[in-house]
Structure 1
Amino acid sequence: MREFLVEITTTVPEGTGQEEVDRRRSAEAARAAELAATGNLARLWRPVGELRSIGVWRATDEEELHEKVLGTLPLRPWMTLTVTPLESHPNDPGRLDASR
């Protein structure tokens, strides 16, 4: 699987009822847990004082990431995404294969 850095900003459409927001957020938490269990969601952070997320996501390619991973998030219609494909850096101390 490839890794992707994904920056997510979620904007609730004006006029959306709190019940709908709460329903989607609850469903979002459940779906994120499922994606973490399958290895598609590796890490997720929220910058201090900001209402956005930064995460490391995994998929076989960018098409799968958009269609079968991020596209399944209940809040996806309200999200703006920035996706950056990642590759291992030769000096990454977390690399599994230090011989490359």
Structure 2
Amino acid sequence: MPDFLVSIDTSGVFALPAAERADVVARERDAGRELIAEGVIQKIWRIPAQHRNIGVWTVPDADALHRVLTGLPIFPYAEFDVTALSTHPLYSDDYGGLIGPGSEEGRTQQ
């Protein structure tokens, strides 16, 4: 399954009244824990001094990721940045003609 780098700016939730914000945050925490348990969220980090997190999410495709993200309780109050990821050749050892004699791609760096 493909991986996606997902960055979420959650600062919009802080504009909500305290009780509503507490409810959204509690529901978001539950949803996040469920996504971790399901293997959707592989790893997630806070960005220091910001209301932002970044994580690696694994889902069948971009449409599935869209459904997951739009289903999050925080979705109406957050901004999302998504980047599709692919395996680096250092892990796969598949350079696909990027280097070596006769490679068109290998000659572009000369």
5 Å matches for 1:6-21? Answer: 6-10=6-10, 11-12=12-13, 14=15, 16-21=16-21
**5+ residue gaps in structure 2?**
95-110
Q: Which has the higher contact order (CA 8 A, sep 6+)?
A: 1
- TM-score, normalization by structure 1: 0.85
Structure 1 residue ranges, 4+ long, deviating more than 6 angstroms after superposition: none
Identity over aligned pairs, percent: 35
Task: Give matches, 1:26-45, under 5 Å.
Answer: 26-45=26-45
How many aligned residue pairs are there? 93
Following superposition, the deviation at residue 12 of structure 1 comes to 2.4
RMSD over aligned Cα, in angstroms?
Answer: 1.4
Q: Does 1:73 align with 2:81?
A: no
| TM-score, scaled to structure 2 | 0.78
Deviation at 1:51, TM superposition (A): 1.2
**Greater Rg, structure 1 or structure 2?**
2
Which structure has the highest strand share of the two? 1
Distance in 2 of aligned mates of 1:91 and 1:48: 29
Q: 1:48 corresponds to which residue?
A: 48
Residues of 2 paired with 1:50 and 1:63: CA distance?
28
CA shift, 1:49, in A, is 1.4
